């Protein structure tokens, strides 16, 4: 089978699996957040933490709960790493140094899973299971509950209540993430992914050298890192490691897990606002971006840029031959269009323009379909901007989902859009301007700038993947990227929950003859245009100095 045919088959199977799961999972998600019934286990948790599950919270109270829960999570995970040498199953590893422990705590709590360390030689099994894997669940749940609060802002009228954070968080973990993770952990185990609590095993390589290979609870963590769009790998090689991702079948399963919740949430959105066509319109925009990105990366990676690539049939440097260019390109597009950050190939070895597309995917805000929850609330904010622009064009007050888009809503949407570019460009500028940090760039020229730009784009957008060739395990990089990850996660959440509260306080406005229909192809095209003009072009000068300069020279 040719490379192109293999790519079409893999993409077709993936789309088919997503289509089959779209309706049942989306409807189930809507049921989770609209039913009044509490499970017995959930009631026990509420009693334990002292929460009245039947009381809704103001948006400001909801926000305080999100921030307090996340702050405690950062402190707990930081302390867990610092005390590692005294814990069970530490495998003899010492305590994680302070700056790296802060960076890792910020990384996993923000759903970024940026790793400046080698997992199998730094973290013991208990820290991996009770620390990192737990955050993979709850950080993913935080993103989902925030978008649910935003949806309630659209469907509620004349109220200051957007839900109960503790109820939403508990239901997301117990009813959604845990059951799916249990099922697919068995699927990955059957596919050859390891899962144990063993220490290092000495093995003899084909070259006759001795090497230690660490086992661990890999399958159970691999599922939630993909399903929750977290991305942190048990091994340094991440999902390119055969213990995490043994073959093309597990590779396709893991890509499916990366995309499935983000895609299904558009169905949930349509169900909860009472118009399924609204969900289809958002899904159409996401699909257009995903298909275009996947095709572009495949084209640039399959192109014969040199004699070596011509002989190999494509740019195979840094790619696992068991996946090839199709499986690698599908993964690169999917992981950078979500906030996953898991990799099955070396992104630093991508062709210049292929790597540029990966960076652009994150710069778009990871909205196709994006991280669990964060992708949907990101694209809904852009939809609000779109109806505002449309209103200016025809001289009418903009409305979206029967709510007027007024100055307060636009200010919050603008703050949301500006936050991440500011973090990316300021961080990149500082890293290039400071001599000590510039020395961490091992590749001079345009590619070196691309590596730094990728690092801050990844951390500010809570992605977590990286180009190699950049020494990020330093006190400066660990500290600065840790702060960037925290700001890149929680400042947008502040704006989104404030927006939810503002919308919920409004009365519902019935559609009129002057209302722009937001479920038709015209709106889909306008939303795509706003994404390109408002978001993508913000970064064009930086892209021109890095990936474009390298790819066009």
Q: Does residue 479 lie within any of the structural domains?
A: yes
Which residues, in sequence order, are bridge partners of residue 399? 404
Q: Does residue 452 lie within any of the structural domains?
A: yes
Q: Are 22 and 287 in contact (CB under 8 A)?
A: no
How many domains is the chain partitioned into structurally? 1
DSSP state letters, 288-300: HHHHHHHHHHHHH
Q: Does residue 514 lie within any of the structural domains?
A: yes
Q: Does residue 494 lie within any of the structural domains?
A: yes
CA–CA gap between residue 251 and residue 327 (Å, rounded): 7
Cis peptide before 369 (omega within 30 of 0): yes
Count CB-CB contacts under 10 A for residue 92. Answer: 8
CA–CA gap between residue 244 and residue 256 (Å, rounded): 15
In order of 145, 154, 157, 274, 394, the CA distances from 400 in angstroms are: 21, 9, 14, 13, 15
Q: Does residue 400 lie within any of the structural domains?
A: yes
CA–CA gap between residue 96 and residue 18 (Å, rounded): 39
Tell me, rounded to whole angstroms, the distance of Cα 482 from its chain centroid. Answer: 16
SS3 sequence of 326-338: HHHHHHHHHHHHC
pLDDT in tens, the chain (553 residues): 555 676 778 899 999 999 999 999 999 999 999 999 999 999 999 999 999 999 999 999 999 999 999 999 999 999 999 999 999 988 889 999 999 999 999 999 999 999 988 888 899 999 999 999 999 999 999 999 999 999 999 999 999 999 999 999 999 999 999 999 999 999 999 999 999 888 777 877 777 888 877 888 999 999 999 999 998 888 988 999 999 999 999 999 999 999 999 999 999 999 999 999 999 999 999 999 999 999 999 998 887 555 445 555 566 778 888 888 889 999 999 999 999 989 999 988 888 889 999 999 999 999 999 999 999 999 999 999 999 998 888 777 789 999 999 999 999 999 999 999 999 999 999 999 988 887 778 777 888 888 899 999 999 999 999 888 788 889 999 999 999 999 999 999 999 999 999 999 999 988 887 788 999 999 999 999 999 988 878 888 888 888 888 777 6
Burial class (CB in 10 A: 0-12, 13-18, 19+), 215: middle
Q: Which H or E element spans position 484?
A: helix 475-505
End-to-end CA, the chain: 34
Q: Does residue 165 lie within any of the structural domains?
A: no
In order of 251, 326, 481, the CA distances from 322 in angstroms are: 10, 11, 33
| Residue 527 belongs to domain spanning | 373-552
CA–CA gap between residue 331 and residue 303 (Å, rounded): 18
Q: Does residue 73 lie within any of the structural domains?
A: no
Q: Does residue 475 lie within any of the structural domains?
A: yes
């Amino acid at each position: 089978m040719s490379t192109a045919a293999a790519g079409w088959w893999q993409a077709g199977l993936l789309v088919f699996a997503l289509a089959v799961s779209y309706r049942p999972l989306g409807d189930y998600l809507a049921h989770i957040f609209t039913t009044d019934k509490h499970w017995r286990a959930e009631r026990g948790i509420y009693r334990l933490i002292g929460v009245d599950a039947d009381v809704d919270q103001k948006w400001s109270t909801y926000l305080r709960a999100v921030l307090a829960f996340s702050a405690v999570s950062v402190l707990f995970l930081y302390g867990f790493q610092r005390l590692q040498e005294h814990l069970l199953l530490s495998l003899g590893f010492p305590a994680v140094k302070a700056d790296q422990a802060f960076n890792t705590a910020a990384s996993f709590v923000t759903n970024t899973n940026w790793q400046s360390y080698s997992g199998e030689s730094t973290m013991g099994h208990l820290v991996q299971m009770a620390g990192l894997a737990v955050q993979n669940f709850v950080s993913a749940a935080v993103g989902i509950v925030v978008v649910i609060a935003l949806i309630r802002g659209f469907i509620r009228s004349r109220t200051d209540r957007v839900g109960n954070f503790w109820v939403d968080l508990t239901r997301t973990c117990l009813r959604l993430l845990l059951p799916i993770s249990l099922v697919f952990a068995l699927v990955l185990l059957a596919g050859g992914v390891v899962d144990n609590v063993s220490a290092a095993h000495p093995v003899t390589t084909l070259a006759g050298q001795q090497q230690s290979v660490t086992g661990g609870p890999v399958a159970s963590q691999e599922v939630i890192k993909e399903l929750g769009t977290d991305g942190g790998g048990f091994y340094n090689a991440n999902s390119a490691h055969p213990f995490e991702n043994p073959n093309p079948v597990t590779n396709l399963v893991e890509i499916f897990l990366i995309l499935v919740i983000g895609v299904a949430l558009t169905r949930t959105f349509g169900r909860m606002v009472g118009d399924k066509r609204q969900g289809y319109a958002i899904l159409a925009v996401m699909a257009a971006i995903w298909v275009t990105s996947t095709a572009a990366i495949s084209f640039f990676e399959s192109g014969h840029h040199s004699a070596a690539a011509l002989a190999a049939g494509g740019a195979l440097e840094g790619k696992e031959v068991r996946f090839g260019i199709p499986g690698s390109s599908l993964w690169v597009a999917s992981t950078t269009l979500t906030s996953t950050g898991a990799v099955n190939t070396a992104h630093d070895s991508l062709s210049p323009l292929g790597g540029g597309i990966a960076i652009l995917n994150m710069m778009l805000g990871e909205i196709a379909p994006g991280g669990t929850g964060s992708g949907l609330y990101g694209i809904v904010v852009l939809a609000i901007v779109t109806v505002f622009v449309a209103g200016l064009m025809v001289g009418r007050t903009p409305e979206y989902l029967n709510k007027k888009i007024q100055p307060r809503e636009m200010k919050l949407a603008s703050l949301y859009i500006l936050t991440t570019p500011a973090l990316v460009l300021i961080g990149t500028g500082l890293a290039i301007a400071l001599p000590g940090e510039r020395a961490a760039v091992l590749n001079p020229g345009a590619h070196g700038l691309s590596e730094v730009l990728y690092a801050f784009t990844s951390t500010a957008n809570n992605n977590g993947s990286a180009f190699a060739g950049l020494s990020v395990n330093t006190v400066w990089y660990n500290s600065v990227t840790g702060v960037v990850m925290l700001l890149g996660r929680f400042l947008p959440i502040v704006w989104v929950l404030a927006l939810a509260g503002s919308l919920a306080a409004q009365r519902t406005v019935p559609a009129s003859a002057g209302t722009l229909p937001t479920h038709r192809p015209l709106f889909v095209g306008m939303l795509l245009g706003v994404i390109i003009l408002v978001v993508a072009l913000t970064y064009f000068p930086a892209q021109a100095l890095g990936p474009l300069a390298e790819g066009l020279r």
